[in-house]
Structures are given as structure tokens and as C-alpha cells.
Chains A and B, each alone.
Chain A
Amino acid sequence: MPKLPKKPKAPGLIGGLGVTFKTMLRGAVTVQYPHEREDPPPRARGVIALKEENCTVCMLCARQCPDWCIYIEGHKEKRPPRREGGRERTVSLLDRFDIDYALCMYCGICVEVCPFDALFWSPEYEYSESNIADLLHDKEKLGEWMETVHEPEPLEVGAETGKK
């Protein structure tokens, strides 16, 4: 016969009643959402924001996205050379940068892979829609969310800075 667990002791049962009673008197820890708003931590992963001027249309984020929810279109333009007699420069300009938040699973791989710091996590979380198609957000909307992105915390004293 397998060893049965020890029988519960009565003091433990009474202690359990005490726990629930004390919790009842302590008050709630929840936030009454529509009436009062929770302030998420600055690095909360609420929504992905786009800093358009940093984007080089390299498509790394769209290729890494497991859900294929990033749609990028761009074109190239010639710009005058920086120095006299130099070659004409080619710049990539973003025409379209859409994220379909109905598909996005908030893995953050796009933010990780972006080599030019164009994508950021924003703590903004109130962007639900009554129509699922409206969750496809364009680069203007993603740019607006850039304003909600917090400045990174200063490094601790003595921390390695990575770049020399």
C-alpha cells in the first residue's frame, strides 16, 4: 500500500480560516480599470512603436516575424553626393510599414533583430478595436506610439557599456 500523506491537522484548518479572514479585511489589490488606470512599468511590452527615420527598409524584422504580420514596402531614391565629385548616394525610403496586431503574438523578435534601432517596445496598451481589420496599424500610427516610449534607464554605476 502506498504511503498516504499525513492526515490534515485541525490547527492547520483553523489557520486556513484565519488566512482567508485576514485577506478579506486587508482590501483589494486590483485596479478598477475603466475608472482608474494602471500605470504600466516603463519597459512593459504593450505595443511596438516605429521610429521611421531610423528604418532602412532592410526587411529583417518582416523576415524574422514568426506570424508574418509585418508588411513593408519601400523604394530607393538617388541623393546628391556628400562630397564634391563623389558618387550619387542611394537611400531607401519607407512607403509602407504595417503591423497587423490581430496576428502579432508580441514575441518581440522584430525589436530584437532591428539593427538600426527603429523598433521599440511601448507600454501603451489601450488600442483595442471593435473590428478586427482595424488592428492593422500603419506607420503613422506606429510613429505616434513612439512618443509613449520611455527613455532607457541610465546604466548602473560601473556597468559595462558595450561600445568602447
Chain B
Amino acid sequence: MWLALDVGWGTILAIKTIVVLAIIPLGAIILGYTFLLKMMAHMQSRLGPMDPGGFHGWFQLFGDGIKFIQKEDVMPAKADRRIFAIAPAVVVISTFLVFLVLPTGPDLVVSNLDVGVFYALAVSSLAVVGVLMAGWASANKFALLGALRAGAQLIAYELPLLLAVVGVVVMAGTMSLQGIVKAQQTGSIFGWDGIGLPYVFPQIIGFVLFLVAAQAELTQTPFDMPVAESELVAGYMVEYTGFRFLFFFIGEFGTAFAFAGLAATLFLGGWAVPHITDTGWENVLGPIVLLTKVMLVAFLMFWVRFTYPRLREDQLQAVAWKFLIPIGLANILITGALKVAF
């Protein structure tokens, strides 16, 4: 192994954990700055923050973080104090658990599980527990309504998310994320193996389904009914201030980063560069390649977010149950039939 250093497994685990813990806020800041502050500003003919940090306001979100930490930790009098306190952590932990299986290189993965995709989707749906805890413990009707909407929405959109991924799993023949990356790297498009076979081409329906469902999982516009500021203020986040709110913010954008990473790994070939195998350079190139793809996917997600208006609650449920799930099932059927045929 190229990176096999002579250290104990405990040290390696500690290093990996610290790296993943650092990636969550860092990814949140990268996405938040690039897209929420800058791209949205330009889409509205503005410039966004320009002063903090000197160069195009890059320090803005760090400054916001420092501000949130300084703020008073307000807790409603009727709140269920313990649940209220740990709910933001549950949301962030669910993001953290997704990053554990996301490969950024042949050796750069915390744990290469054989059921990687299954695990990632399972732990990403833990966030809904945190959201429901936050909404219930806040003892606030807006928060409760927002949490219930979030619960209904997240459960409804888990299904298309899962069905979209099944197509990829059928094609790759494995649930391991490393295996899916390898399968795309070594594949070929009708005999031409110039760029391998990114599953975005055969699974374009699955890719679109995944992006739509991920958008809903992240409660981003047009599926932001749970945090609709014009009617629910901020939904389940309404009673949160200071660093607990910061946790929700990091959770939201960290999860966006994780979903973009999953989409890049499942559909765009992940960290792999075609034809560069077993040189040892993949561990250096991998993270850069993956980050580029993540930014590409995140661009699509945030582009949609900043363009569309919000769907009504019944439309939102109808899109999932009447539209996305049948398409997802049909996609699996066709993929399976073609897999057996060829």
C-alpha cells in the first residue's frame, strides 16, 4: 500500500476521524461561500460580500461562524432541554457518518464497506430524526409544523433516492462505493474507453432522479416547504440561536456536500481518472478530481435552488409519490432487463 505508514490502527482511525470532522465544516463553508454567497449574488446581479478577508469576501462565513459562537445560547422555557440540545448534533452526526464511506482515492477512505451505498443512504436518513427532535423539543407550533413537514418530505423522497441508486448498483454489480468507482473507471461506451463509463450516461434518468430527491432531502428550494420562511419563519430551526443554529447550518451544507459527493461517486466516476491505475498518484489526484466533480454537481443543485419558486405541500408530495417513484421503478426494470440481455 502506498500510504501504509507504520502506525497503529488507533492512530490511523484518529487521523481519519479528525480529517472527516474537518471536512464537514470546510465543505459547508466551500459550498456556502461559492454558491450561497457568490453564485446566488451574481444570479441576482449583485456581487455578494466583497470586504471580509480582503479577496472577494472569502472570510465572510468564518466571520459568521465566530459571530454565532459568541451569541447567547437561548433555550425556550417550555423546551425539552436535553432533546433540544442534542438535536443539532444528531443532524451533523448523520452527515459525518455519510462521509465515512465516501472514497476520495484508492486508500483515502475511512472504511470501505461492502454495503457502502446502502449504509450511506441509511445513515443520511438519520437526519430526519434530528429534525423531528428539534421540532418537537422546541415547544413551538412553527417548529413542530416544520418538523412534521420535514419528516413527511424526507421519508417521501428517501424512496426515489434509493430507487435512483439501485440502477447504479445493478449496473456495477456491487454496493461498495469503491467497487462502483472501479466499475465506472474500467467500463467503456460502446467499445470506446476514453473516459471509462460514467454512469451518468446510461443512468441519466437515475441521475436526474437522484438530484431531485437529494434536493428534497436537503430541504432546498423548490422543496423547502419545511423551512418556508414566509409561513413557518424557519421551520424546525426557529427557536435555535448561536452555535446550535450554526450546527444546523453546517449540517445543511455539509449534507449538501455529502450528497454532491455521493452523486459524483455514483454517476460521474468518483475520484477515478481513466487509464491512471496503480501508479500511486491516485491518492493525490483523487481528492482533486472528486472535489471538481462535487462542485459540478453542487452547481447543478444550487442553480436549481436559486431559480425555482417553492412547491406547495400537496404538489411536493405528489411529485414524489406519483411521479418520481414510478419513474424510479421503471428505471430499475429497464436497467435490470438490459443487464440480463447483455
Contact = CB atoms under 8 A, between A and B. Distances in A.
B43 interface: yes
Tell me whether chain B's interface is mostly helix, strand or loop, or mixed: loop
A20 B47 CA distance: 14
Contacts of A32: 47, 50
The A interface, classified by DSSP as helix, strand, loop or mixed, is: helix
Interface stretch (A23-31, A142-150, A154-162): A23-31
Residue among A19, A21, A24, A27 with max Cβ neighbours from chain B (10 Å)? A24
A20 B45 contact: no
B44 interface: yes
B318 to A, nearest CB: 11
Contacts, number: 36
Contacts of B304: 17
B306 A20 contact: yes
Interface residues of B, number: 14
A20 B46 contact: no
A28 B308 contact: no
Interface residues of A, number: 15
Interface string B42-69: 1111110010000000000000000000
A138 to B, nearest CB: 35
A13 interface: yes
Contact of B45 (A13, A16, A17, A23): A23
Interface string A1-44: 00000000000010011011101111111101000000000000
Interface string B79-115: 0000000000000000000000000000000000000
Interface of B: 39, 41-47, 50, 303-304, 306-308
9 contacts: A16-B308, A17-B307, A20-B306, A20-B307, A21-B43, A23-B43, A24-B39, A27-B42, A28-B45
Enumerate the 8 nearest inter-chain pairs by beta-carbon distance, A residue then B residue, closest first: A24-B42, A20-B43, A28-B47, A20-B307, A29-B45, A24-B43, A16-B307, A30-B46
